[in-house]
């Protein structure tokens, strides 16, 4: 059976309850930066879940910690962009990702302030690394240039993506889309989900998953026709990666596919456009120093976006 067309998908999968609040937040954010002539990037990040039951106990998930989106957001901010960070709930977030809660208690010390009262402080040998992060976080917060929104399910994500894209439309070419979320290709249609937890006493489980329609198509064609749209292609099989990237460019007509492989995605990506392939590679030395490939990706991307803005200037 073929995938539903995207209009049907939206009709059959109900909007999240808070969608109108999300819409007003995003619209206000985009309008502010449109007036100030500041470019806005929508970063999507993390995986989507596909619930198998209405009262959800089980779901299908996509592997994604959200490092790519969270790290890239920090670099977009340093390049002057306003960022809508649309991420999977509990996946990594910009700035906070540097303070992993699992090791946090190891770096917190009990001390005394100058009144002799108990206080809690970050160990002095960690301050050097964490201070710039905390400062950047506080600067960003007071600038208001980062809007953080979260989703969990595939359906929530797709509804929020449409709302965000429509709000970005008035920005024209100044809108950049950086679609790094790992979106499921398959889902269980709303009307086919079990109401209660599926029991093992019912025997082996046979799941029929439908194809998710490709939303990149209406996004590029109707929602943000002037924007600079970038998508990601992740494969585990190198042999088909670039071919898949070109197929996507051809099919959807957007500007760029960032192609990467699961096992070395932190060392190498290829920016694939109709005109050329630009490989971005981290050296061993850069990896040792803890540098991140997202810094290079965002540098290249903002430079391409600036050229794109000047093409019609």
Using CB under 8 A, list all residues that contact a copy of itself.
1, 49, 52-53, 55-63, 90, 93, 95-97, 99-102, 104-105, 108, 110, 114, 117-122, 124, 127, 130-131, 134-135, 137-138, 182, 184-186, 196-200, 203-212, 234-237, 262-263
When the beta carbons of 31 and 238 are compared against a copy of itself, the nearer one is 238
When the beta carbons of 90 and 307 are compared against a copy of itself, the nearer one is 90
When the beta carbons of 240 and 281 are compared against a copy of itself, the nearer one is 240
* 3-class secondary structure, 298: helix
Residue 286 beta carbon to a copy of itself: minimum distance, rounded to whole angstroms = 25
Residue 303 beta carbon to a copy of itself: minimum distance, rounded to whole angstroms = 30
Residue 64 beta carbon to a copy of itself: minimum distance, rounded to whole angstroms = 9
88 CB neighbour count, 10 Å cutoff: 26
Is residue 15 within 8 A of residue 5, CB to CB? The reply is: no
φ/ψ of residue 59, rounded to 5:
-155, 160
> Which helix (DSSP H) or strand (DSSP E) does residue 134 occupy?
helix 124-143
When the beta carbons of 24 and 56 are compared against a copy of itself, the nearer one is 56
In the numeric block, which tokens belong to residue 119?
Answer: 């206080």
Question: Which residues, including other chains, have CB under 8 Å from residue 48's CB and lie 6 or more apart?
Answer: 61, 62, 88, 151, 152, 153, 154, 157, 181, 182, 183, 184
Residue 155 beta carbon to a copy of itself: minimum distance, rounded to whole angstroms = 16
Closest CA to 66 of 173, 131, 170, 150: 150
* Ramachandran sector of residue 259 (left: φ over 0; alpha: ψ -120 to 50; beta: rest): beta
In the numeric block, which tokens belong to residue 310?
Answer: 């000047």
Distance, CA of 136 to CA of 124 (rounded, Å): 19
When the beta carbons of 191 and 237 are compared against a copy of itself, the nearer one is 237
Residue 137 beta carbon to a copy of itself: minimum distance, rounded to whole angstroms = 5
When the beta carbons of 178 and 187 are compared against a copy of itself, the nearer one is 187
Residue 87 beta carbon to a copy of itself: minimum distance, rounded to whole angstroms = 11
> Which helix (DSSP H) or strand (DSSP E) does residue 278 occupy?
strand 277-281
Residue 231 beta carbon to a copy of itself: minimum distance, rounded to whole angstroms = 14
When the beta carbons of 242 and 299 are compared against a copy of itself, the nearer one is 242
When the beta carbons of 137 and 308 are compared against a copy of itself, the nearer one is 137
> Which helix (DSSP H) or strand (DSSP E) does residue 232 occupy?
strand 228-235
Residue 238 beta carbon to a copy of itself: minimum distance, rounded to whole angstroms = 10
The helix-helix angle for 124-143 and 67-78 (nearest 10°) equals: 70
Is residue 6 within 8 A of residue 213, CB to CB? The reply is: yes
Distance, CA of 232 to CA of 216 (rounded, Å): 11
Residue 166 beta carbon to a copy of itself: minimum distance, rounded to whole angstroms = 25
When the beta carbons of 105 and 313 are compared against a copy of itself, the nearer one is 105
């Amino acid at each position: 059976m073929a995938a539903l067309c995207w209009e049907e998908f939206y009709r059959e999968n109900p909007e999240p309850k808070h969608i109108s609040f999300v819409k007003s937040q995003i619209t206000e954010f985009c309008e502010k930066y449109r007036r100030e002539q500041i470019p806005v990037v929508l970063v999507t990040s993390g995986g989507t879940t596909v619930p198998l039951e209405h009262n959800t106990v089980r779901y299908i998930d996509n592997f994604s910690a959200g490092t790519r989106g969270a790290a890239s957001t920090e670099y977009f901010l340093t390049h002057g962009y306003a960022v809508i960070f649309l991420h999977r709930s509990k996946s990594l977030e910009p700035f906070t990702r540097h303070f992993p809660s699992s090791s946090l208690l190891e770096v917190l010390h009990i001390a005394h302030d100058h009144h002799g009262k108990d206080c809690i402080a970050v160990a002095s040998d960690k301050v050097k690394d964490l201070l710039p992060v905390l400062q950047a976080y506080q600067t960003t917060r007071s600038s208001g240039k980062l809007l953080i929104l979260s989703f969990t399910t595939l359906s929530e994500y797709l509804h929020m993506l449409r709302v965000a894209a429509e709000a970005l439309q008035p920005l024209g070419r100044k809108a950049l889309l950086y679609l790094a979320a790992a979106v499921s290709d398959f889902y269980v249609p709303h009307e086919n989900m079990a109401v209660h937890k599926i029991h093992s006493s019912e025997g082996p489980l046979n799941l029929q998953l439908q194809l998710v329609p490709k939303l990149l198509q209406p996004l590029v064609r109707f929602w943000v026709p002037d924007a600079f749209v970038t998508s990601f292609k992740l494969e585990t099989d190198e042999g088909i990666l670039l071919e898949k990237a070109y197929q996507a460019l051809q099919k959807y007509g957007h500007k760029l596919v960032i192609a990467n492989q699961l096992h070395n995605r932190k060392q190498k990506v290829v920016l694939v456009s109709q005109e050329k392939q630009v490989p971005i590679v981290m050296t061993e030395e850069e990896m040792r120093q803890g540098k991140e490939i997202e810094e290079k990706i965002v540098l290249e991307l903002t430079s391409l976006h600036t050229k794109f803005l000047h093409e019609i200037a």
